[in-house]
Structures are given as structure tokens and as C-alpha cells.
Amino acid sequence: MLTRIDHIGIACRDLDATVEFYKATYGFTDAHFEVNEEQGVRECMLKINETGDGAASYLQLIEPIRDDSAVAKWMEKNGEGVHHIAFGTDGAVAEEAAGIAGRGVRVLYDAPRRGSMGSLINFLHPKDCHGVLTELVQKRSDTD
């Protein structure tokens, strides 16, 4: 079952400057910085609020670190801006993805991959989701 908006992903060219903008403008705090080599991005998760299921909602700022990454290719066409929306699940992301695939939506990965802060993720094809790249996120087992 999908339980929350886990995060909104924002693609940016300069992660440090973008983080400072969101901190100064909205008062968000740094939740977590990391490099995800598999996805080819450097990212910061800025915590927005706590949610009723014990998790949190975040703004994910993502900067490509390789020209061949999916985010870099997306930015070539679209520039900076909203890249995706991610929904959190209270169960296994593999089961959620399989259930949604059973309704005719293409799932991008055969098996979940590592996401931010130790989460498991999968993506749904934007052409099947009215133009929106949609991520499914399995709730992290550690604290948010």
C-alpha cells in the first residue's frame, strides 16, 4: 500500500548552490548527502516534515556526476526542475511494483535497486503515468 509522498526529486546543475537556496528560502535542513554511483548522481535529501507512518517527506536535490546518467540525459532535454515524484510504501517495493505492473504500467527495473539513505526503489515509466516519472520507495528500516 502506498502511504505517503516520500519525496519530490529536483534535478540541478549545482547541488551545493541549490541546497543553500532551499535552506535559506524555506528553512529546510540537511537530512542526508550521498553519492549514488549506480544512478550517477550526487544528492541531498532535505527533510520537509514527519509523516503519520513514522517516516518523513523530503525534497531530493540531484546533480548528475556523469554525462551518461539518466538525470544528465533528462537535463539535456529539460534543464533543471522537477524530475520525479516518489511514493512511499509500507510493504515491499517489489510487491508494489508487481501489483502496479499487473495494471498495465511498465516498471523500469526487473528488481528493486538501492536508493537514498538505504531505501529500495523502482521506477514506473512516465509514458504510462501521464508524463510523470514515478518512483516507488520502500520505507527505510533505520530512523528518518
Q: Is 95 a catalytic residue?
A: no
Q: Is 138 a catalytic residue?
A: no
Whether 142 has a pLDDT exceeding 60, the answer reads no
Burial class for 12, CB neighbours closer than 10 Å (0-12, 13-18, 19+): buried
pLDDT in tens, 8-47: 999 999 999 999 999 999 999 877 899 999 999 999 999 9
Q: Is 130 a catalytic residue?
A: no
Please identify which of the residues 39, 63, 84, 138 carries the catalytic annotation: 84
Q: Is 84 a catalytic residue?
A: yes
48 vs 82, residue with greater confidence: 82
- CA gap 135, 19 in Å, rounded: 22
Q: Is 135 a catalytic residue?
A: yes
